Amino acid sequence: MTIRLVTFDLDNTLWQVDAVIHRAEKETRNWIQPHVPKYASYMNPENVASLRARVLEEDPDARHDVSALRIHMMRLAFEQCGLTPTAADTKAREAFAVFIQWRNTITFYDGAQDTLNNLSQRYQLAALTNGNADIQKLGLDRYFSFAISAADVGSSKPGPEMFLEALRRANVSPKQTAHVGDNPIDDIEGANRVGIHSIWVNFDGKTDQVPAHATVTDLPSLVGTIASLSAL
* Sequence spans of domains, the chain: 5-16+106-230, 18-103
Q: Which of 96-100, 112-116, 117-121, 206-210 is least confident?
A: 206-210
Decide if 122 contacts 3 (C-beta within 8 A): no
Nearest to 135 by CA among 189, 31, 193, 125: 125
Percentage of the chain beyond pLDDT 90 is 95
The amino acid at 167:
L
Fold match between domain 5-16+106-230 and domain 18-103: no
Catalytic pick among 9, 65, 134, 182? 9
Report residue 210's pLDDT band, with 50, 70 and 90 as the boundaries. confident
The pTM for the full model equals: 0.94
Active site residue 9: yes
Rounded Cα–Cα distance for residues 215 and 182 (Å)? 10
pLDDT score of 206 more than 90 = no
Decide if 171 contacts 48 (C-beta within 8 A): no
Range 18-103 classified under CATH 3.40.30.10: no
- Region 92-112 average pLDDT: 98
Report the CATH number of the 5-16+106-230 domain: 3.40.50.1000
